[in-house]
Amino acid sequence: MGGIFNRLADNERRGSLANRLRRRRFALFTQLLGGLPRPLRIVDVGGTENYWEQMGFAHEEGVSIVLVNLREHKVRHGNMQSIAGDARILQGIDDNSFHIAFSNSVIEHVGDFADQQRMVNAMRRVAPRIYLQTPNRYFPLEPHFLFPFFQFLPLRARVWLLMRFKLGWYLRQRNLKDAIKTAKSVRLLSYNELRILFPMARIYRERF
């Protein structure tokens, strides 16, 4: 069963459910780009070069993309740059130095709700427009551990499962410390919490 879930949830696998949904989301993003003049500067908080390659933006004319991650990485494309930074601060990036701040399935990994608010504030600081995607807390299948209702289990139960099974994209945890750290590494947001973080934003709910 886990193998089936992994294949469906593998967004790198062409034709998988996750890949189709990712492309549909990106189509929405490109629609939002439609009215913006070029050259266009995008900062991708926690993003990868592979993502933009997959979406066909690796050589997009008039678009430059800066990838911000905890560590700098080598990039293959001239319109991309990788820098090291904290998603909650975006240190070293000037105010309003980008047209769009973009983030795909990252905010649920930055910490507690206060940390998530800090990330949103940092994105607002560096760009006047934000596009942010995150899984819905109330979707029955937790998208990282691929275990039904995992996000609602007590910490003790999540740790127990992680120490005994390979769950989703995570190998079986070998010790209690790692299991606790992994269990706490994802904090999914609800619609109401998103509305608090983005009171003036348009929020799209995904249907499939």
Instruction: Provide the 10 A C-beta neighbour count for residue 35.
Output: 6
**Predicted model pTM:** 0.87
Q: What pLDDT is recorded for position 32? A: 82
CA 12 to chain centre: 14
- 192 Cβ contact list (under 8 Å, min separation 6): none
Tens digit of each residue's pLDDT (9 = 90 or more) over 196-208? 999 999 998 877 6
HSE, CB side, 13 Å, CA atoms: give it for residue 83. 14
Express each pLDDT in 56-108 by its tens digit.
899 899 999 999 999 999 999 999 999 999 999 999 999 999 999 999 999 99
Instruction: State the Cα angle at 39 between 34 and 43, rounded to 5°.
Output: 85
Distance, in Å, from the CA atom of 171 to the CA atom of 149, rounded to the nearest integer, reads 19
Q: What share of the chain is helix, strand, coil (3-state, %, to 5)?
A: 35, 15, 50
Q: Where are the alpha helices (DSSP H) in 45-190?
A: 49-54, 113-126, 155-162, 176-183
Residue-range domains of the chain with CATH: 2-139+187-197 (3.40.50.150)
